[in-house]
Homo-oligomer: A and B are copies of this chain.
Amino acid sequence: MAEQRPVQRRPTLADVAAAAGVSRATASRAMSGGPNVSPAARERVWAAVERLGFEPNHLARSLRRGSTMAIGLLVPDVAIAFYARALKGAQETLERSGYHVLVMNTERAADREAAALRTLRAHQVDGVILATSGGYRDIGVPAVFFDNVPLDIGAGAVALCNEEGIGLLVDHLVDVHGHERIAYLGPPAAVMPGEVVSTHRSGRERLDGFRAAMGRAGLALPPEYVRTSDARLTDTVATALTTELLALDRAPTAIVAGADTLTLGVLEALHEQRVRVPDDIAVVSFDEPTHAGLLDPPVTSLDRHDRQLGCRAAELLLAALGGGDGGTTESAIERVPLELRVRRSCGCPVG
């Protein structure tokens, strides 16, 4: 409306400087709130910024400063509620410190993870947070792991109390409901050919936790009661494995599912086979499936404070970046506790 500029070009710092009648250096200093700028100059610069609708070019700034204020976030799949919530927690924390977040999906494939890391490096991210699927390699910036943690934990790691969590589930089945034939269906726990050793740490911990809890309870654990899914935790694989469990001579009376997608697969199989939960078989779940309370039946599971996991990972990274305070300097794996949410699938007469 007012003056029509010859070009639609976005205003640059030079435009602002010209409009304010100062040098680019002074304009820059005024904008960044740095010292050594006269109040008068500062005011003219701000006025020009306002008038021109100037917004500094992040690219140029990052290139010059050597820091992008960007953090890469690698997850297997944002469409999985757990990762989506953890992501939001991390994002919120990071944005509060002026960082922004680049999200990449790895689809639980090590090579896609490696490719994503390369991309992130090309974009000069200042750090990464990742739920690794085994494709991690150092890209020269601090890395914080969450959910699944490799042997070398980099700048920090946040994981769940996997063993204790499974223990809570088993103990409940045994102590409250008197189950003796309990099967386990969890994430892979062994090293797959061609994979990095670290990948299945949390799967291993959960399985160890299961064995330990069964041992403590003095219960027999036939090998056919222990099943592990594919690396992608595909629900249809869980459905197939559950069907196998049901076909056993002495079928289990309870199933502990070691991850939320697996739980849904288990329920799917049970629905298909018209096996009633919890009447015919009890089901408990390591993670909370989305809307666990509205499922048929409501699923007893472990609440793992997804958001908090993301927040905490972000805080550790901020600490590593020298910004925030990670709360701790020792680089041990930090464990987030789990809480048992009793619903109906275990046999309790709740909700």
Contacts of A56 in B (CB 8 A): 122
A297: Cβ under 8 A from any B Cβ: yes
Interface contact A122-B58, CB-CB below 8 Å: yes
Which chain B residue has the least Cβ–Cβ distance from A61?
B122
Bound complex: CA A271 to CA B85 (Å): 25
- A interface, over-half SS: mixed
CB proximity of A117 to chain B, nearest CB, Å: 11
A8: Cβ under 8 A from any B Cβ: yes
How many copies of the chain does the oligomer comprise?
2
A329: Cβ under 8 A from any B Cβ: no
A84: Cβ under 8 A from any B Cβ: yes
Contacts of A91 in B (CB 8 A): 105
Q: How many residues belonging to A are interface residues under a CB distance threshold of 8 Å?
A: 47
Interface contact B290-A81, CB-CB below 8 Å: yes
CB proximity of A213 to chain B, nearest CB, Å: 27
Contacts of A119 in B (CB 8 A): 100
| Contact of A294 (CB < 8 Å), options: B77, B295, B351 | B295
CB proximity of A122 to chain B, nearest CB, Å: 5
Bound complex: CA A27 to CA B104 (Å): 30
A232: Cβ under 8 A from any B Cβ: no
- Once A78-B84, A79-B88, A81-B290 are accepted as A-B contacts, the answer to whether A58 and B264 lie under 8 Å apart by CB is no
| Contact of A118 (CB < 8 Å), options: B55, B78, B297 | B55
Which chain B residue has the least Cβ–Cβ distance from A119?
B100
A289: Cβ under 8 A from any B Cβ: yes
Which chain B residue has the least Cβ–Cβ distance from A55?
B122
A121: Cβ under 8 A from any B Cβ: yes
Bound complex: CA A102 to CA B71 (Å): 11
Given A55-B121, A100-B119, A103-B103, 17 additional A-B pairs, CB 8 A = A8-B140, A10-B140, A58-B122, A59-B63, A59-B124, A79-B81, A79-B85, A79-B88, A81-B81, A100-B123, A102-B102, A271-B293, A271-B351, A289-B291, A290-B290, A295-B296, A296-B297
**CB-CB nearest 6 A-B residue pairs:** A296-B296, A79-B84, A59-B63, A58-B122, A58-B123, A103-B103
